[in-house]
Amino acid sequence: MIEYNAERSHSSLGYMTPHEFVKEYVAMSQEQRLRLNMEKEMKIPYYQVDVFTDRLFKGNPAGVCLLMSGWPADELMQQIAFENNLSETAFVLRQGGSFELRWFTPTIEVDLCGHATVAPAHVLFKETGLDGNLIEFTTKSSGIVSVERKGDRLILDFPSRPPVTCETPRELEETLGNKPVEIWRSRDYLMVFDNEDEIRNMNPDLVRMLNWDCLGVIVTAPGKTVDFVSRFFAPRAGVNEDPVTGSSHSTLIPYWAKRLKKTELHAVQLSSRGGELFCQDAGDRVKIGGNSVTYSRGEINV
């Protein structure tokens, strides 16, 4: 256990790098953290992680804020996410031996996010040296979600969200530029097409899409070299196109598992950055696995 010393909180801790500070901070008791935060301006250790890839500048970048002693105001977290201007920023708070997690796009808080769950798990395992191979996060709207470390991959355990049939949204062909062969819905619309090229070449009208009553729109088709491909558009959430989307696979996995009659699935998201996902249908849960890499380490001063 680190012995807290008020005199060195402004000197020694102040000259630490953010990475060194996080490692020392994790070892402090809750009382020590509260005392430290009262004596210092709010400095939030911050990381940016590229998820569902093993290469920098690919996959989906997520911001990770490791909170020190309590939840900031929602308005402040939203401002931070807006300033970061990433598809999602994750805020993580350690409460005793457990972790709480919330996700913000630049404009709204969302109920579930895949890559911004892998990202904080990556930070806790790789950057802070957290022991073990399983992290459980308590979330505001989706219960407990977990991430398991298996070799170089991190495996999400998410609720399954099978799609159901639904009415056709207005101006469908004008919005997507093509007509899907199937239309489904869960949290998001799921539009199924015949082939990968239709997904790759799609250039939807995002202004028209703003009129659809959903968080996002998934477009998907059988893949040429993988089981299925997809893209995800969410202009109403402030994200025109998400590079790689874990939460959309809560719907894609049960759909494709039933259609292909298999539980192990290999998927690629065809955004400009691209991403690779290793999926499993597990009944009322889905497993979503992939790699991740740290892009940056720093701190936010607010």
User: What pLDDT score was predicted for residue 13?
Assistant: 40
- 131 & 93 share domain: yes
pTM of the model: 0.83
Find the domain containing 147 and state its range: 6-158+291-301
Q: Is the pLDDT of residue 17 over 60?
A: no
Single out the residue of 214, 202, 159, 207 nearest to residue 178, CA to CA: 202
Query: Does any domain span residue 103?
Result: yes
Per residue in 130-146, pLDDT tens? 999 999 999 999 999 99
Please give the span between the terminal C-alpha atoms of the chain, in angstroms, as a whole number. 28
Residues 21 and 109 in one domain: yes
Higher pLDDT, 19 or 268: 268
* Claim to verify: residue 268 and residue 210 sit in the same structural domain: yes
Mean pLDDT of 83-94: 97
Longest dimension (CA), the chain: 67
Q: Does residue 14 sit within a domain?
A: yes
pLDDT digits (tens, 9 = 90+) for 149-189: 999 999 999 999 999 999 999 999 999 999 999 999 999 99
Residues 177 and 154 reside in one and the same domain: no
> Domain with 10 in it: what CATH number?
3.10.310.10
User: Between the CA of residue 139 and those of 105, 124, 165, 225, 252, what are the distances in Å?
Assistant: 16, 17, 28, 35, 22
Catalytic residues: 88
